[in-house]
Structure 1
Amino acid sequence: MFSSFDPEYAPVGDVGTALLYVDSLLTRIREGISQADPKQRELIDEFFGSFSSEDASDVLDGACTLVYLYMEWLRQAHEEQDRDVVESVVPYVIGSMRKMTISVKPEAIPAMAGMLTASAIGLSPTLWRKQYGPWTEAEMNALEATLVLLADYINHLTNDETMAIRMIADIMESMEQAGDVG
């Protein structure tokens, strides 16, 4: 069935930068670091501050690509066990974000639930989200939390604390070797 939200019509974005950011967050969580080192925080702020609006948009598209790839992997893993990814993963992510009352605003959670569900049924989260206008500031933290929660879910499911990052890095490497990535 044709959909204008099909992933083949969506920009891939800057998956590498989005992946590096998620990896740094997961590393901080694993190491029990609640706050970034002030120097590291300054470097991160400087790095993202140097982005043009187009660069920032590319990273957002890359983050949405990560959401899609993680949900696709989780959908396949759940189907192998006759389980539904929407029934298992979406409530876990949404429930976890509802507990993050300081960093995730409640008004951003429905957008993440919709984006996860869209991804789970094979739609592009980038294109699905764009129909509602520009991203809001509240959605930035929610998207970050969504990515970390999905990656952590994959890591726990596989009992491998680097699986989610390595899986995407391997995909990127194989695409690069095939000449599909610039």
Structure 2
Amino acid sequence: MLFVLNQTFSSATGKRVAAMILLTSLSVTSLVKAADEVDEEAEKEWKEVALQLPEAPKASNLIDFYQSNNLSFAIDTRSVNVVTDGTVRYTLIATSSSGAKNVSYEAIRCQSYEKKLYAFGRPDGSWSRSRKNQWEVISGTNTNKQHLILFTDYFCEGNSIAGKTDTIVDRLRGKRSLFSR
């Protein structure tokens, strides 16, 4: 490339311009490569712990934490688990105003502001694994803000998990706020 630039720019000024173009392109290439390496390292460092599905939720263990226009949301406190991979896993129960229930086993990853759906609960207490096996950014723009509420009010403090399992369950029960330690 330098040979081509030297042929194109024969004057001293032209050679300086050619050298600056070459150095700029090398710098940009180096920065892009370095950013890619940092992204790859961050991804390599985090490894998701293998999934273990909990027992089916029981009504006595449910705590309501959020209500939208036509749905109420509860967590099965026995399913809440702060996992060593830096996620909080839990069973979520969404109940419509007509009484229909959807049960799901999910996780929130505070570090990346993401959620993941692992499985759906069946009426017989068994689980059906989700076909969608990816993390998604938590949205605060939907009508139902259950994941945002869990992230901001119960599970996370910034991009860190806000305590151990017992602390999070106490918070869900209203015994302690996010800011009391």
Q: When the two structures are superposed, what TM-score results if normalisation uses the length of structure 1?
A: 0.28
Higher helix share: 1
Higher relative contact order (CA 8 A, sep 6+): 1
Name the structure where strand makes up a greater proportion of residues. 2
The normalised TM-score by structure 2 is: 0.28
